[in-house]
A and B are shown apart, each in its own frame.
Chain A
Amino acid sequence: MTERAPSPLLLIHPSRGLIDEKFSVIVQHLPPFIEITLHALIHSDDGDLWEAFGHYVSDATGLVNVDSNASLGGTYDGLEPMGLLWSMRPVPGSRLGLRLRKKEVNTPVVVTISVYRGHMGQGFNEQTALASVVAERWYMAPGVRRLDITEAGVTGTLFLPSGPGPFPALLDLWGGGGGLVEYRSALLASHGFASLALEYMTPRTSGDSTSHVGNEYFEAAFTLLKQHPQVCGDRIAIVGLSFGASVALGMAVYSTVIQPRCLVCVSCSHVQPVKGSLSDVFADISKNAQNTRYDEENRVIWRDLLLPIPTDPTKKVDMGKLPCPVLLIVGEDDQNWPATESAEDMKQMMEKAGNSHLLTTLSYPGTGHLIEPPYSPHVRVSNFMMTQTRQKILVLWGGDTAPHSHAQEDSWKKTITFLEEHLYRTTSVTSQSQL
């Protein structure tokens, strides 16, 4: 009787890593020069299955190493050591418009990595893999503490790095999708920043009326951070994406309470009624609702709602008055906000006012709106719930998977460096970052 051939040895290193850490995937003891498929599978918190795969050929010693071998096809190709993670997409037959977001940050994302015989493109669940291992990807490093915040009328989650501190802090603002999104803050705390993920989109009910939070809400959140015993009160920054970035710009320029040391603004625009509240901003945007466009598959393109960039100074943040360094991260294929046009206009305003040395812009071709921490899947489109009407639509965010994923990797690294430079240095830095 023929002895079953041994399972090839598949090793992932590290087997337990942070979400933004690279890993190595090495397969050994394969026959030489055979075709194999490396496959990654995630079972999301929402119960959906996401997968990615790459086609490889073993070398003369029966080895495949993603760090040195190129993928010949699959959901990614070329020399892409992290392709198995960033090129993931929902398995065939999944619900439409999914987006992979980890809600529960105390547990890891569990990825099953397998080796299959031959170059396969589908039917992975019907075949037995040659080998299969499990890798954990964490948003939270050991020792990072998670605290629910409900004081001073503020709703959010504070993540504190391990150790006595004091630490610089971040106010972490997501976009119009709303809710309390924790994973970026958990990861930032794992890099040494006290980070407050703030919930601000949900309309608050007071008596009979329901309205959006006012500017005092953000000021209260900033003050809360400033007064925290483990936070260095004069080293607080704001990290904002989309709507959150607009809030950050508005507050940094007009609020007397919010004085950030620096800002990170991802996929943003400075177009908003000057000194307006959140409600004012929404109102202004809805005035342009007729500018909504649709792509060939009827997905919503919102970038024109803020175009053309107004010349009227009351309709955009006065960037000439921005007192602190700002890192702007722009996706050139952003279909949701006019990030490129806004960035160009912001630059012009700052050059004219003489404070453009505070501006650093990272602009990425082929990159969409949702520029997030690296190695999680890019989606060009996803479901979006309109806060007011509770209507579910499919929104076009933009970006092509490979360039978008590279942009996430590069911009995240530069974001961390920028934050360390401005928040951890012992002397204050006011010049343009050396990124």
Chain B
Amino acid sequence: MSTTVHMLWGVKDIRVLNSSSTLSSTMATISPLLSVKPTRGLVDEKIQIIVRNVPPRFPVTLHSLFHSEDKDYWEAFGHYTSDNRGTVTGTAHASVGGTYEGTEPMGLLWSMHPAPGSRTGLRLRKMNVLTPMVVHISVYSGHVTEGFSKQSPLATVDIERWYLAPGVRRIDIRDEEVKGTLFIPPGPGPFPGVLDLWGGGGGLVEYRSALLASHGFVSMALEYISTEKNRASNLHIKYFEKAFRIVQEHPLVMKDSVALFGLSLGTSITLHMAAYSKAVSPRCCVCVSGSHVQPINSPFKDVSEKFQENRHKIRFDEEGGVIWKDIMLPIPTDPGLKVDMGRIKCPVILIVGEDDQNLAAVESAEDLTQMMRAAGNEHLLTTFRYPGAGHLIEPPYTPHVRASKFMVHQTGEKVTMLWGGYPKPHASAQEDSWEKILRFLQQHLYPSQDSVPKAKL
């Protein structure tokens, strides 16, 4: 039988002596009682933190620490004062300082940032969804703002954060044409389906699909911009139609209940397919941080040519972060340069970050709404706009980054891309939009009782 030794941040000898040097002799030497529930939760589940048995009216710091797959350390902390019973409750007490303030039960997760001394331009993304994120939650004596690794906490618990619920299956899709990963919920099905499209960063990003499957949807994460040298990117509409078919024709998927879910460039593709594809029709579309502006009569690969033409519109912020939002401004009036929104026949939910610095999401939203109003199909559109939110609106409770390193595949350059957004409003946007998206998918992908009179259970 194995012995598992808990290694906290390089402090290998965990046999810490009974009295902590940061406590005075009048304080108790017994560990406070720290409880975090759930101990093993899904990434989008809320946690409840309760600290008990510290002295009354005692200053403490709640701290979170995560060691990423890329070997970076991310941390967050909040300053609290215990109440008269020596208790601190995350859902009831306010943080008076730290990486978050106010009564923010999830602040220890969404306000995480790279620990001092880390590499710059990091973004926290879980690439292996078969294992959880393990977060160490600690209580420190006093209001600490730095040097957490040099002090011993009063108490620590570990929690797991999973993208994958038990029983969800992960299947590699690697035929000669399509590369993706399919996630299937447990059970006999059939289930609604989702084709999950990320943005121009490329690669195969699985975590959102894993989480959707944990909510009962068969979801395929699709790679269409390759990061490998020996595999070409494929931005042809036929590629996406093929991928959509793979989901739709899966024996556990309800054919008429497949949605498209896009973020950024993925939204452009989603809108294009919904308007123009003769081969596939999504039941509904989720469009996050995207635009309908694109050259219509040429395939997506020409997007990069358009991009080159407009390079002069790229701006920079004071730290050298690249701002791309002006590239598509002003929104063209030429119909050949944007998706004909009047052709859309299915419900669309549009998620917009008002501080999006990467893409003109606000202006696009206004323009596409007007197009749909003029065409008479505006009733299909539901828009949620979030002030202070940036471009990367993802599933909730994972850290927001305002800027991060980005590889521009068209040119091979590595830049620091400014995404926009500020931690608190962006975190709220992620929490709220995810809930709205799940409800939207449930509402449209499960047939209502009166519309399926002949179906036998």
Q: Do A and B bind each other?
A: yes
Give the B-binding residues of A (Cβ under 8 A).
2-7, 9-11, 13-18, 21, 28-29, 31-32, 34, 62, 106, 110, 112, 114, 117, 128-136, 138, 141-143, 145-148, 161-168, 190, 192, 229-230, 232, 235, 420, 424-426
Contact flag A164-B156 (CB < 8 Å), given A132-B186, A142-B134, A147-B3: yes
Chain B residues, Cβ within 8 Å of A16: 38-41, 160, 162, 166
- Docked Cα-Cα span, A32 to B447, in Å, equals 14
**Judging by beta carbons under 8 Å apart, are B449 and A62 in contact?**
yes
7 pairs of residues in contact across A and B, judged by CB atoms under 8 Å: A7-B190, A14-B40, A16-B160, A132-B188, A145-B5, A192-B31, A192-B35
Give the contact stretch, choosing among B14-22, B108-116, B318-326, B385-393: B14-22
Please give the distance in Å from B10's CB to the nearest CB on chain A.
Answer: 14
Partner of B15, one of A117, A128, A230: A230
Which 3 A-B pairs give the minimum distances between C-beta atoms?
A143-B158, A134-B167, A16-B40
Chain A residues, Cβ within 8 Å of B28: 426
Q: Nearest CB to that of A423 among chain B residues?
A: B30
The answer to whether B124 has its CB under 8 Å from any CB of chain A is no
- Docked Cα-Cα span, A44 to B353, in Å, equals 49
Further 9 A-B residue pairs, CB within 8 A, beyond A5-B455, A15-B166, A146-B2 = A4-B254, A7-B216, A16-B40, A114-B187, A146-B3, A164-B153, A165-B16, A166-B29, A166-B31
B212-271 at interface with A (beta carbon < 8 Å) = 214-216, 254-257
- Docked Cα-Cα span, A29 to B189, in Å, equals 13
- Docked Cα-Cα span, A5 to B256, in Å, equals 11
Give the A-binding residues of B (Cβ under 8 A).
1-6, 8, 14-18, 20, 28-31, 33-35, 37-42, 45, 52-53, 55, 134, 136, 138, 152-160, 162, 165-167, 185-192, 214-216, 254-257, 442, 446-447, 449, 452, 454-457
**Judging by beta carbons under 8 Å apart, are A6 and B30 in contact?**
no
Contact flag A138-B457 (CB < 8 Å), given A148-B1, A163-B153, A230-B15: no
- Docked Cα-Cα span, A166 to B29, in Å, equals 7
Chain B residues, Cβ within 8 Å of A192: 31, 33-35
Partner of A163, one of B31, B160, B166, B449: B31
Chain A residues, Cβ within 8 Å of B34: 163, 192
- Docked Cα-Cα span, A416 to B18, in Å, equals 23
Chain A residues, Cβ within 8 Å of B215: 11
**Judging by beta carbons under 8 Å apart, are B254 and A232 in contact?**
no
**Judging by beta carbons under 8 Å apart, are B31 and A6 in contact?**
no
**Judging by beta carbons under 8 Å apart, are B446 and A6 in contact?**
yes
**Judging by beta carbons under 8 Å apart, are B165 and A133 in contact?**
yes
**Judging by beta carbons under 8 Å apart, are B166 and A136 in contact?**
yes
Chain B residues, Cβ within 8 Å of A13: 45
Contact flag A131-B188 (CB < 8 Å), given A6-B447, A9-B442: yes
- Docked Cα-Cα span, A232 to B8, in Å, equals 21
- Docked Cα-Cα span, A31 to B166, in Å, equals 26
Chain B residues, Cβ within 8 Å of A62: 449
Please give the distance in Å from B183's CB to the nearest CB on chain A.
Answer: 14
Contact flag A162-B157 (CB < 8 Å), given A5-B452, A29-B446: yes
- Docked Cα-Cα span, A253 to B162, in Å, equals 48
Please give the distance in Å from A27's CB to the nearest CB on chain B.
Answer: 11
- Docked Cα-Cα span, A215 to B447, in Å, equals 69
Partner of B254, one of A3, A10, A165, A229: A3
**Judging by beta carbons under 8 Å apart, are A15 and B155 in contact?**
no
**Judging by beta carbons under 8 Å apart, are B188 and A15 in contact?**
no
Q: Nearest CB to that of A160 among chain B residues?
A: B6
Chain B residues, Cβ within 8 Å of A136: 40, 166
Contact flag A232-B157 (CB < 8 Å), given A10-B187, A15-B42, A146-B4: no
Please give the distance in Å from A5's CB to the nearest CB on chain B.
Answer: 4
Please give the distance in Å from B52's CB to the nearest CB on chain A.
Answer: 8
**Judging by beta carbons under 8 Å apart, are B6 and A145 in contact?**
yes
**Judging by beta carbons under 8 Å apart, are A426 and B16 in contact?**
no
Chain B residues, Cβ within 8 Å of A164: 8, 14, 16, 20, 31, 152-156
Please give the distance in Å from B15's CB to the nearest CB on chain A.
Answer: 4
**Judging by beta carbons under 8 Å apart, are B30 and A420 in contact?**
no
Chain B residues, Cβ within 8 Å of A21: 37-38
Please give the distance in Å from B350's CB to the nearest CB on chain A.
Answer: 25
Partner of A3, one of B5, B37, B256, B449: B256
Chain A residues, Cβ within 8 Å of B6: 143, 145, 162
- Docked Cα-Cα span, A106 to B4, in Å, equals 10
- Docked Cα-Cα span, A29 to B8, in Å, equals 45
Q: Nearest CB to that of B4 among chain A residues?
A: A145
Chain B residues, Cβ within 8 Å of A18: 39
Q: Nearest CB to that of B17 among chain A residues?
A: A229
Interface-centre pick from B1, B15, B35, B256 (highest chain A CB count, 10 A)? B1
**Judging by beta carbons under 8 Å apart, are A15 and B165 in contact?**
yes
Contact flag A3-B166 (CB < 8 Å), given A14-B40, A131-B187: no
**Judging by beta carbons under 8 Å apart, are B166 and A110 in contact?**
yes
**Judging by beta carbons under 8 Å apart, are A2 and B456 in contact?**
yes
Chain B residues, Cβ within 8 Å of A142: 39-40, 134, 157-160
- Docked Cα-Cα span, A67 to B406, in Å, equals 47
Chain B residues, Cβ within 8 Å of A145: 3-6
**Judging by beta carbons under 8 Å apart, are A165 and B31 in contact?**
yes
Chain B residues, Cβ within 8 Å of A141: 39, 157-158
**Judging by beta carbons under 8 Å apart, are B188 and A129 in contact?**
yes
Contact flag A232-B190 (CB < 8 Å), given A163-B153, A163-B156: no
Please give the distance in Å from B25's CB to the nearest CB on chain A.
Answer: 13
Please give the distance in Å from A36's CB to the nearest CB on chain B.
Answer: 10
Please give the distance in Å from B14's CB to the nearest CB on chain A.
Answer: 7
Please give the distance in Å from A30's CB to the nearest CB on chain B.
Answer: 8
Q: Nearest CB to that of B20 among chain A residues?
A: A164
Please give the distance in Å from B318's CB to the nearest CB on chain A.
Answer: 42
- Docked Cα-Cα span, A130 to B97, in Å, equals 50
Please give the distance in Å from B23's CB to the nearest CB on chain A.
Answer: 12
Please give the distance in Å from A216's CB to the nearest CB on chain B.
Answer: 26
**Judging by beta carbons under 8 Å apart, are A9 and B446 in contact?**
yes
Chain A residues, Cβ within 8 Å of B214: 15
**Judging by beta carbons under 8 Å apart, are B31 and A167 in contact?**
yes
Q: Nearest CB to that of A104 among chain B residues?
A: B1
